[in-house]
């Protein structure tokens, strides 16, 4: 029995050994297949890589001549640009050398001839600008100062001074005069005398003549109130002198009723004439003409001459 058991154990061990060997063989076979596959894949990869490398080389070989042609053209263009720049610089250097070799006067003339159009345009533009600036500056300066002038240049010689007027005021003193005013404006000596309200026209006329005589006594008519001729022939010149006006009145009316009793007399002497002019300013010289103007007759409308001729 013991021997049979030992035999069984030996068989089992041999079977286990066979199974382990079989397993080892199967594993080695699988490893070999895997290695063979890897080697075949590596060979294929090398072939493909070799083919791709040859293709890239061929493409590069094809592209290389194109790149070289482009580089050649670019190099030619750059060489042409350099040549043009060098030629321009040479021309400029030659011009500068020639200009430097020329004297200063010729160089200035050359520059002026070269830019003559510019100079002409600048001159044409500058002329009206200068004129406008002159007008504006002159008007601006003149706007701040008043315009002073006199229409009595080369006239009023001799002149009536303030001393003469003061002496005239002292001499014109009358008992019947209530107020006396003396005014010298615009080369006219005006004397106004306000008398008593109850004076008659004859009394007022006598006072007017007396005032005129006193004025002429201080200021002679031939010297101050008559134009004077100076020089002879073509060089004869007329010096304009003063005018004289003397007024005498009794009162200033305040209503229509007082106008009838107002008396206003005047005596005037123009420097251009030698005659005196006496006038009564409150009574018209032509009463009929004055009444026609002041009180026209509206009962009969006026008839024009054209209508009468048509009829």
pLDDT in tens, the chain (311 residues): 555 555 556 566 566 556 655 555 555 555 556 555 555 555 555 454 444 444 444 444 444 444 455 455 666 666 776 676 666 666 655 655 555 555 666 766 666 666 777 888 889 999 999 999 999 888 877 666 666 666 777 788 899 999 999 999 999 999 999 999 999 998 999 999 999 999 999 999 999 999 999 999 999 999 999 998 877 766 668 889 999 999 999 999 988 888 889 999 999 999 999 899 999 998 888 888 888 887 787 777 666 665 555 54
d(CA 201, CA 214): 20
How many other CB atoms sit within 10 Å of the CB of residue 248?
27
What pTM was estimated for this model as a whole?
0.49
Residue spans of the domains in the chain: they are 17-90, 104-138, 162-285
Burial 172-196 (b: 16+ CB within 10 A, else e): beeeebeebeeebeeeebbbebbbe
d(CA 41, CA 44): 5
Burial class (CB in 10 A: 0-12, 13-18, 19+), 207: buried
d(CA 133, CA 87): 50
- Compute CA distances 155 → 106, 221, 271, whole Å: 65, 16, 12
């Amino acid at each position: 029995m013991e021997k049979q058991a030992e035999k069984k154990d030996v068989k089992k061990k041999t079977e286990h050994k066979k199974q382990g060997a079989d397993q080892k063989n199967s594993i080695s076979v699988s490893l070999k297949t895997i290695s063979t596959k890897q080697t075949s894949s590596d060979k294929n990869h090398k072939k493909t890589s070799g083919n791709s490398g040859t293709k890239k080389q061929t493409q590069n070989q094809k592209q290389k001549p194109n790149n070289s042609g482009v580089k050649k053209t670019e190099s030619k263009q750059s060489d042409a640009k350099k040549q043009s720049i060098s030629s321009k610089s040479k021309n400029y250097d030659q011009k500068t050398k020639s200009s430097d070799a020329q004297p200063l006067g010729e160089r200035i003339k050359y520059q002026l001839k070269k830019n003559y159009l510019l100079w002409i345009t600048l001159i044409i533009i500058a002329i009206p600008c200068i004129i406008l600036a002159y007008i504006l500056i002159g008007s601006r300066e003149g706007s701040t100062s008043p315009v002073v002038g006199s229409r009595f240049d080369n006239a009023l010689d001799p002149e009536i001074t303030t001393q003469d007027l003061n002496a005239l005021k002292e001499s014109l003193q009358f008992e019947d005069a209530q107020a006396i005013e003396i005014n010298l404006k615009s080369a006219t000596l005006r004397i106004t005398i306000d008398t008593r309200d109850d004076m008659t026209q004859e009394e007022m006329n006598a006072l007017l003549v007396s005032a005129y005589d006193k004025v002429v006594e201080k200021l002679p008519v031939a010297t101050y109130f008559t134009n004077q001729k100076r020089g002879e022939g073509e060089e004869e010149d007329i010096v304009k002198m003063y005018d004289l006006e003397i007024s005498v009145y009794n009162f200033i009316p305040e209503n229509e009723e007082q106008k009838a009793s107002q008396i206003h007399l005047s005596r005037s002497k123009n420097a251009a004439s030698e005659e005196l002019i006496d006038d009564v300013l409150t009574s018209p010289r032509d009463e009929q003409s004055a009444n026609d103007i002041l009180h026209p007759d509206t009962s009969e409308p006026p008839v024009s001459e054209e209508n009468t001729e048509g009829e």
